[in-house]
Structure 1
Amino acid sequence: MSNNLLDVIGNTPVVEIKRLNKHKKVKIFAKLESANPGGSVKDRIAKYMIEKAEESGELTKKKIVLEATSGNTGIGLALLCALKGYKLRIVMPETMSLERRQILMAFGAELLLTEGCKGMPGAIEMANQLAADPKYFLINQFGNPNNPLAHYETTGKELLEQVKPLDMFIAGIGTGGTLMGVGRRLREESPRTKIVGVEPYPNHKIQGLRNLGEGYIPPIFDINILHEKVNVTDDDAYDTAKDLARIEGLFCGVSSGATVAEALRQAEDMKEGNIAVILADGGEKYLSTDLYTCPYRR
């Protein structure tokens, strides 16, 4: 039993993907970040970024917490702010799923929507403009060192304990926090592990991931942490996410489809070994999107 909801963030389970993976000498293990109380991997960074700001004195009850997000970080922050009594304003593109907006409002967050055609850069620009007002405390997940630190101290440590030996680690490129934090830990403690970052192609529809060539590279992102950067198509991401639900019983978001699609491809090139992949969130936030409204194609 836990006396505090924040204490159950992290230590998420790992399960083997068996039916989709046909290569029996290569095992694929999925870390289920939907098991966090806010439903995604972003609960980890929300906790770290809020609590580190409190410790430094930058964040007080007089401040309004402000952040630009495509959804999951906002939900993690909304959970934290509800528990701790902070006001929260979230800036996000209008193209993000209806479910994400509803969850944010359920936690009491105020939403400011930006033009969908401007994507996340447009939301980041608005948040930076608002942050000039001293009443705000801007989280700045894309440049906040406590984002990768959360994964260095928690996610990376957990994976090293859960998957032995760990031959390959695969995660999607979003803010870069998961890859940078886990990647640095693996570089230090498991140099045998190949670190693979997954990005979509330009003009993609994979919520939560970004193509680094589309104009904005997060300041916390260091390409040198990766051994390989690969592209995954929208179709592969969507189809694999649906496969995960229908074949493995894993109800997840489209970015998880992208990372597992790459894990399955990498497995074809390996003789044996263990691959760990991050399933960043569950599928509940995508029920109104093409992921679950379009017919199953397999």
Structure 2
Amino acid sequence: MMSAIAPPSGVRARHRRRFSPASYLYLLPALILVVGIVHVGIAANIGYSTLDWNGISATAVPVGLANYATMLTDPVFWTSLGNTALFAVATIGLQMVFGFLLAVLVRTRAALRGLLRTLAFVPVVLAPAVVATSFRILLTPDGGFNRMLSALPFADIDQAWLADPRTALGTIILINVWQYTGYSFLIYDAALGQVDGSVLEASRIDGASTGQVLRHIVAPLLSGSHLVLIVLGTISALKTFDIVYLTTAGGPGNTTQVLTGYIYKQAIGQFHAGYGAALSIALCVLAMIFAVLQVRLSSREAR
């Protein structure tokens, strides 16, 4: 059996110097920022969640786990959690499908490829406040979208898309899909560039149709991209606030209320800081579950 060859002493010395304690000083600014804002903030929020406090007064009444018990019996909490889950499933699914198909289109069309990539990604870089305000104006009963539909034969539409409980949440989902499909497209476009062309050529020679190639060969090869988009999309959906708040503010009623919006409403709008803190801890737990899931699944995928 061959013995391991020891590296030269100079290499060992350089390796030791690379991991000297002084090198960790460079991590202090980021460490202080993360620990001081994120972790200390979470710890403080846990403490606030055990108080009956309006967030302003100097006195607060300790209530233990009463805020959490209230949360479990709060119908608006469960409505907002259900809306968040529906929002996550719908947006992630539609963005993945449209992003994948758009990436395939760009990869199979040589003409105007650069222009298509640019146009697909432009909505992603737009500020959510701009997107929400623009769509709120376009989707009023006398807005541009209804006027465009009314120009079609046999159509006279004055639908209030964001004010109707039947269409409000679906409309917000489609707005989000319009804005962030370009991100899914970017991930899939990069992944398709790594697919071995000989595999696709062999499948076409064997008589596979385009749909069969995409469904049985290309899609399984992009499993890592699917996983990344699902996990990151879920975490992003849990944090969704601006697009909902700036279009419907959770209304009409609570039909579009999401968890982050309900936290804002309780803590800022109604001065229930203790209960808002308990809601935010529940959101943090859900986000951490999916963060751990991402790390574990990513590690398994790498192996």
Would you tell me which structure has more helix in proportion to its own residues?
A: 2
TM range (shorter): under 0.3
- Larger Rg over CA atoms: 2
* Higher relative contact order structure (alpha carbons within 8 Å, sequence separation ≥ 6): 2
TM-score (norm 1): 0.24
TM-score (norm 2): 0.24
Would you tell me which structure has more strand in proportion to its own residues?
A: 1
